[in-house]
Chains A and B, each alone.
Chain A
Amino acid sequence: MATTLPAPRTVGRRRNIEKYGWIYMRASGVVLVVLIFGHLFINLVAGQGVKQIDFAFIAGKYATPFWQVWDGLMLWLALIHGGNGMRTITNDYVSNPTANRLLKGAILVAVVLLILLGTLVITTFDPCPANAAPGTLPTFCSSIGR
């Protein structure tokens, strides 16, 4: 049994959480400008643009940890930033408490699942999978006989 009353800090605490969210939106935004502009330049502008993208292109990028870290940061920062922004918008327009909680729950689930999936994809990426159709692999896979 609780022997003390809850500290009367609920209001102040909530406001602090909102403050950290506010700071996060700005800090992540600054980093995301660099990450996303770099991502778009490499994938969409340099070389042959979107036409160059295929499995072998990604295998080439993920052959160095550099782009894995880049994409990982972009994945986490952008999804949390976007999810938190969607939460703000939900609070602005959805006043029905049940709908509000359902929507924010859906946003949270989507963000968590996609962060897990994206992180898994980056960390377990196999550039030379055994089930590959002929001609889809990067040339360096021939050195291990694929």
Chain B
Amino acid sequence: MVSLRPAPATKRAAAPRLPAGTVYRGHEGMWSWVLHRITGVAIFFFLLVHVLDTALVRVSPQTYNGVIDTYKQPIMGLGELVLVAAIVFHAFNGLRIILIDFWSVGTKHQRAMFWIVIVLWVVLMAGFAPRQLMVIISEVQH
């Protein structure tokens, strides 16, 4: 018979070996959560710096221009590519989270929606990456 009482305190509860019955560990649900977290933190730190660099417009035009010129270097161009990749994932996966929470059959389709997020991400990045590379290359030739 299955007892509903907690195990006696002397016996450590064994960790379940197979995480059966969770949509999270080791599957799309977990990876989307890990990526959502990492991208969220990265964007947050970018934004802290970004508000500070924009604030230089109140110091003088030449101060702002001098700092923003470093954003136009090829290496920063690659950084912008990575930043956009992170934002686009966080944004689409955020919409997926919202659909899981509010759409009546959202939980049922969470896995399919994860792959839709990936496809949308690939499509958007396939559009943005060549554009950004053009800008970077023209800057190298500059």
The answer, among A54, A75, A83, A124, for a CB contact under 8 Å with B51, is A75
| Residues of chain A contacted by B91 (CB below 8 angstroms) | 29, 32-33, 36-37
User: Which residue numbers of A lie inside 8 Å of B, CB to CB?
Assistant: 26, 29-30, 32-33, 36-37, 40, 44-45, 48-51, 53-56, 58, 75, 78-79, 82-83, 85-86, 89, 110, 114, 117-118, 120-121, 124-126, 129, 131-133, 136-137
Instruction: Check B51–A114 contact: CB distance below 8 A.
Output: yes
> Are A83 and B135 within 8 A (Cβ)?
no
Closest A residue, CB atoms, query B135:
A49
B61–A137 CB distance below 8 A:
yes
Q: Does B37 contact A (CB under 8 A)?
A: yes
Contact B98 A82 (CB under 8 A): no
Q: When the two chains form their complex, are residues A132 and B62 in contact, meaning their CB atoms are under 8 A apart? A: yes
Q: Specify which chain A residues have a CB less than 8 angstroms from the CB of B94 in the assembled complex.
A: 29, 33
Q: List 17 A-B contacts (CB under 8 A).
A: A26-B98, A30-B98, A33-B94, A37-B91, A44-B80, A50-B77, A50-B135, A54-B61, A55-B57, A55-B65, A82-B40, A86-B44, A89-B37, A110-B48, A114-B47, A117-B55, A129-B60
Residues of A contacting B: mostly: helix
Which listed residue, B44, B84, B138, touches A82 by the CB 8 Å rule?
B44
Given contacts A44-B132, A45-B128, A45-B131, contact A133 B62 (CB under 8 A): yes
Q: Which chain B residues border A45 with CB–CB below 8 Å?
A: 128, 131
Q: Which residue of chain B has the shortest Cβ distance to A29 in the bound complex?
A: B94
Which residues of B sit under 8 angstroms from A58, Cβ to Cβ?
Answer: 54, 57, 64
Chain B residues within an 8 Å CB radius of A118 = 51, 54-55
**Are B87 and A132 interface neighbours, CB within 8 A?**
no
Q: Mark B84-127, 1 if CB is under 8 A from A, else 0.
A: 10010001001101100110000000000000000000000000
CB atoms of A132 and B61 under 8 A apart: yes
Per the bound structure, the CA–CA distance linking A45 and B134 in Å amounts to 11
In the complex, which residue of chain B has the Cβ closest to the Cβ of A136? B61
Residues of chain B within 8 A (CB-CB) of A120 are 58
